[in-house]
Amino acid sequence: MDNVLTVDSLGKNYGDFKALSNCSMTIPRGSIYGFIGKNGAGKTTMIRIICGLQQKTKGNVTLFDRKDTDGNFNVSRRRMGAVVEKPSIYQEMTAIENLKQQFYIKGLTSFEEIDKLLDLVGLQDTGNRKVKDFSLGMRQRLGIAISLVGNPDFLILDEPTNGLDPQGIIEMRKLILKLNHDYHITFLISSHYLDELSKIATHYGFINQGEIIKEISAKDLEAHCGKYIQIEVNNSKALMCTLDDMHVEYKLLSSTKAKIFSTVNITQLVLALDRANCEVISLFEKEESLESYFINLVGGEKDV
């Protein structure tokens, strides 16, 4: 089994409104899959269907080689943990008491793993302190500890760093990487923080207006983005002719701007443009980020 999760042609309608339309997704075993889309694009709807919190309209979900039409599909769901929207925790209880409640829910009678879970998420010293007195980052980590009850192989996290301060974001990143590297847990993570997501994700899925429009590995994305030179001139035709003569790979962005992807001698380029009566207004090196890739993919302003 190479894939933990496969979603095929998934659809979800609310009356005449299509929240999801023919969505397909593949999450390889051992990956950290970053799920990216604008607000209202369908991320949370997709996650809720995968978790069994909403019913699909059409399509299939396959989890650990079992389709959701299989009578034993819940056996696969028991291998999955999730923190969707807000962690399900009791504010008037301690961290230990919250974990015990989850053990009861899952039919586990031994509490031997609780200390290990608290230590894993950095909450081993909270003692009798009630959750209502925890920081937001502590609550987020407790939510992950609760989702780890039963030793799942697959975790779904919906906005795990939402509202966290820089230190909390760093702690969450380290925890996710530790669970992935040391415990071989596969992740599906929906996040607004694209720069942070780019530091941990091994694969990406982009959703727009209810459709998965692109899936790509971090390795392929890095090769696609890379560094380039952005140049602005007063004569795009002369620029194109000059770049063609130099056998340089480029992309015209507007009537005055272009991206140059090939390695080029800047002095030779500027001199060649001068001979063609083409004035260079600006020229600088850039590196495309995950955020700019997303914006170019879906168009418009960032609103994820």
Q: Which of 168, 184, 216 is the last residue of a domain?
A: 216
Q: Which of 216, 248, 270 is the last residue of a domain?
A: 216
* Whether residue 236 sits in one domain with residue 109: no
pLDDT surpassing 60 at residue 227: yes
Arithmetic mean of pLDDT over the chain: 91
β-pair partners for 244: none
In a domain, residue 300? The reply is no
* Whether residue 148 sits in one domain with residue 180: yes
70-100 residues labelled b (16+ CB within 10 A) or e (exposed): eeebeebbeebbbbbeebebeeeebbbebbb
* Whether residue 198 sits in one domain with residue 121: yes
* Whether residue 88 sits in one domain with residue 26: yes
Kindly state the average pLDDT of the residues 60-88: 90
pLDDT cut 90: percent of the chain above it: 71
* Whether residue 83 sits in one domain with residue 209: yes
Which pLDDT does position 286 carry in this prediction? Answer: 81
* Whether residue 239 sits in one domain with residue 132: no
Domain that residue 257 falls in: 227-287
In a domain, residue 193? The reply is yes
Q: What's the CATH number where 77 sits?
A: 3.40.50.300
Task: List pLDDT tens digits, range 229-262.
Answer: 999 999 989 999 999 999 988 889 888 999 898 8
pLDDT cut 70: percent of the chain above it: 98
